[in-house]
Amino acid sequence: MKSSINRVGILLAAVLKVVAWALMAFSIFAFLASRDRDPSSWRGFSTVLSVGLTSGFLLRERIDDERVHSLKLKALSIAFAIAYPLAMWLDPLRKRTESITAYEFICITMLIALGLFHFWRWQDGRGDRAGAQKIQST
């Protein structure tokens, strides 16, 4: 019973992740294709983008173990610590009179968090050849 619920959860998360990435791809395409650089258009785009990036980060992985949870928490903490001063620094550089929106801040944070998480995951997957050779030779 528990394993079938778990399997449904994994399937649901995978479907939602595909939907989130498709939504993001469509919104990026629509934003670029429309060539509409009106602030209201950008606000709509950043809203969709923030939802997509947050879903992509928070939805469970295919194998969602304790290492994934630990890396996600670490990535989110560091991303927030980087995004906060970055947003404060970027804000005066923009030509717009209004400040950076919460959706834009979420986009920056989630982009950094996703980048860090996948980089660390890639590093985890890299084989330790020296160690493996040592075992083979014994």
String marking each residue 94-123 x if it binds other proteins according to CB under 8 A? ---------------------------x-x
> Are 49 and 24 spatial neighbours (Cβ–Cβ below 8 Å)?
yes
Closest CB 52 distance from other proteins, rounded Å: 24
For residue 135, give both structure tokens.
């075992």
Q: Which residue has the tokens 């985890």?
A: 124
Which of 118, 94, 116, 117 has its CA nearest to residue 46? Answer: 94
- Going by the DSSP 8-state scheme, the letter that residue 40 receives in this structure is H
Cβ distance to other proteins smaller for residue 71 or 108: 71
Residue selected from 68, 82, 86, 100 as contacting other proteins according to rule CB under 8 A? 68
Determine, following the binding rule CB under 8 A, whether residue 85 of this chain makes contact with other proteins: no
Residue selected from 7, 43, 67, 94 as contacting other proteins according to rule CB under 8 A? 67
Q: How many CB atoms lie within 10 A of CB 26?
A: 12
For residue 91, give both structure tokens.
């804000």
Contacts with other proteins by CB under 8 A lie at 61, 63, 65-68, 70, 121, 123-128, 131-132, 135-136
